[in-house]
């Protein structure tokens, strides 16, 4: 079977390796024929040698979907022929966070495509506890986007009860867009999403996010006043990953607000802890997702509350992995989610 391996920065090697077969399955494992793979922002950093936690060489692919082709004797979640996806987290199950059920912050966490081999190959084996069966009505492209959708679902949950609250999401890339959609699904009163790209903001509007603001043209404070009036906003999500963005959120949020940091910062921002304390702001982190977030993502997408179609901008064949990464680097302004199609 085919396999795509990132052997070093900007070097994808295509290998032919022995097929995985049903005979190799454990009693709780599923053999998946991989059909679609999404390329995420963290993998882009790995490709360019900018992700410090990537272990080369490593098989690509942690956003994926496919068809279950064989199942172990004790598997009950799916049957052969079902559309499926799975979480790429490999948690130890022994550390304190794991024992508390917070395996997404496992002390020894490994993630496929970074510290463990991913699913960029024709067949892949996963254990049942990480598998999610997809509705028959789902496209396999949607299935490959459950992973980033789960990031959005988990991030939205970190702000607590959003019912009736006004929310600002800073950053309208794929993750920021999904965060905003899940915030709306969780009952937020109004949502304003910001970016410096008119294209990304138009994509947000196509996904049903009515409030948009280009902060390169209008300061956040003015946009907040226009959208929320005297009500202000009580929750912010930092998804842009730049210091000016999180500083603006802190300065414009109501006192007592919560700000969830979703983005990975290339450089730690300089923030005033005095201001944080005086305004009694709650600064919360968010890390990946748990299994329930995958299930929430499937449910909200299936119900139509979260829209994925406008986010898929480009598709490449399996043998075009390198080309896909170069395309993303050259078209950052109008490139959202790129899908690798193993059937092309």
Same domain, 173 and 272: yes
Question: Do the Cβ atoms of 209 and 176 come closer than 8 Å?
Answer: no
Same domain, 65 and 108: yes
pTM above 0.95, yes or no: yes
Same domain, 135 and 172: no
What stretches of the chain adopt beta strand conformation (E)?
A: 2-8, 11-16, 29-39, 58-59, 63-71, 83-86, 89-90, 110-111, 123-127, 131-133, 166-170, 190-195, 211-214, 235-238, 258-261, 282-285, 312-317, 337-341
Range of the domain at 176: 158-285
DSSP annotation of 114 reads T
Q: Is 244 helix (H, G, I), strand (E, B) or coil?
A: helix
Phi, psi of 159 (to 5 degrees): -95, 0
Q: What CATH number corresponds to the domain at position 235?
A: 3.40.50.720
Same domain, 18 and 123: yes
- Which of 311, 64, 281 has its CA nearest to residue 180? 311
Is there a cis peptide before residue 116, judged by omega within 30 degrees of 0?
no
Cα 300 to the center of its chain, rounded Å: 15
Q: Is 308 helix (H, G, I), strand (E, B) or coil?
A: coil
Same domain, 281 and 174: yes
Q: Is 126 helix (H, G, I), strand (E, B) or coil?
A: strand
Non-local CB neighbours of 330 within 8 Å, separated by 6+ positions? none
Same domain, 178 and 138: no
Same domain, 134 and 165: no
Same domain, 53 and 141: yes
- Which of 118, 95, 115, 138 has its CA nearest to residue 54? 115
pLDDT at 266: 80
The region that residue 208 occupies, defined by phi over 0 for left and psi between -120 and 50 for alpha, beta otherwise, is left
What is the SS3 string spanning 279-292?
CCCEEEECCCCCHH
What is the number of domains present in the chain?
A: 2
Report if residue 296 sits inside a domain. Answer: no
124's tokens? 């892949």
pLDDT at 27: 98
Dihedral, 244, 265, 235, 96 alpha carbons, nearest 10: -150
pLDDT in tens, the chain (344 residues): 999 999 999 999 999 999 999 999 999 999 999 999 999 999 999 999 988 899 999 999 999 999 999 999 999 999 999 999 999 999 999 999 999 999 999 999 999 999 999 999 999 999 999 999 999 999 999 999 999 999 999 999 999 999 999 999 999 999 999 999 999 999 999 999 999 999 999 999 999 999 999 999 999 999 999 999 999 999 999 999 999 999 999 999 999 999 999 998 888 999 999 999 999 999 999 999 999 999 999 999 999 999 999 999 999 999 999 999 999 999 988 999 999 999 98
pLDDT at 344: 86
Question: Do the Cβ atoms of 180 and 159 come closer than 8 Å?
Answer: no
Question: Do the Cβ atoms of 210 and 186 come closer than 8 Å?
Answer: no
pLDDT at 88: 98
């Amino acid at each position: 079977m085919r396999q795509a391996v990132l052997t070093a920065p900007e070097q994808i090697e295509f290998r032919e390796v022995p097929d995985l077969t049903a005979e190799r399955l454990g009693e709780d494992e599923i053999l998946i024929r991989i059909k679609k793979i999404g390329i995420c922002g963290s993998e882009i950093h790995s490709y360019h040698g900018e992700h410090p936690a990537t272990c080369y060489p490593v098989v690509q692919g942690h956003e994926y979907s496919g068809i279950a082709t064989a199942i172990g004797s004790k598997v009950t979640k799916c049957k052969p022929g079902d559309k499926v996806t799975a979480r790429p987290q490999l948690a130890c199950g022994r550390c304190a966070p794991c024992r508390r059920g917070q395996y997404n912050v496992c002390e020894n966490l490994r993630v496929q495509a970074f510290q463990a081999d991913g699913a960029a190959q024709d067949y892949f084996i996963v254990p049942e506890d990480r598998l999610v069966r997809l509705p028959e009505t789902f496209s396999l492209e949607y299935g490959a986007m459950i992973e980033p959708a789960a990031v959005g679902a988990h991030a939205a949950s970190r702000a607590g009860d959003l019912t009736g609250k006004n929310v600002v999401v800073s950053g309208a890339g794929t993750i920021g867009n999904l965060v905003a959609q899940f915030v709306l699904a969780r009952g937020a009163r109004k949502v304003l999403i910001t970016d410096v790209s008119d294209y990304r903001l138009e994509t947000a509007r196509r996904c049903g996010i009515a409030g948009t603001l280009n902060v390169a043209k209008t300061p956040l404070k003015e946009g907040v006043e226009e959208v929320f009036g005297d009500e202000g906003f009580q929750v912010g999500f930092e998804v842009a990953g730049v210091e000016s963005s999180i500083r603006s959120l802190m300065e414009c949020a109501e006192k007592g607000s919560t700000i969830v940091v979703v983005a990975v910062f290339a450089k730690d921002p300089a923030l005033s802890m005095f201001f944080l304390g005086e305004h009694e702001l709650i600064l919360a982190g968010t890390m990946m997702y748990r299994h329930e977030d995958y299930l929430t993502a499937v449910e909200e997408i299936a119900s139509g509350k979260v829209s994925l179609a406008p986010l898929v901008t480009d598709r490449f064949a399996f043998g075009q992995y390198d080309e896909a990464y170069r395309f993303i680097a050259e078209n950052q302004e109008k490139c959202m989610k790129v899908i690798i199609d193993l059937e092309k």
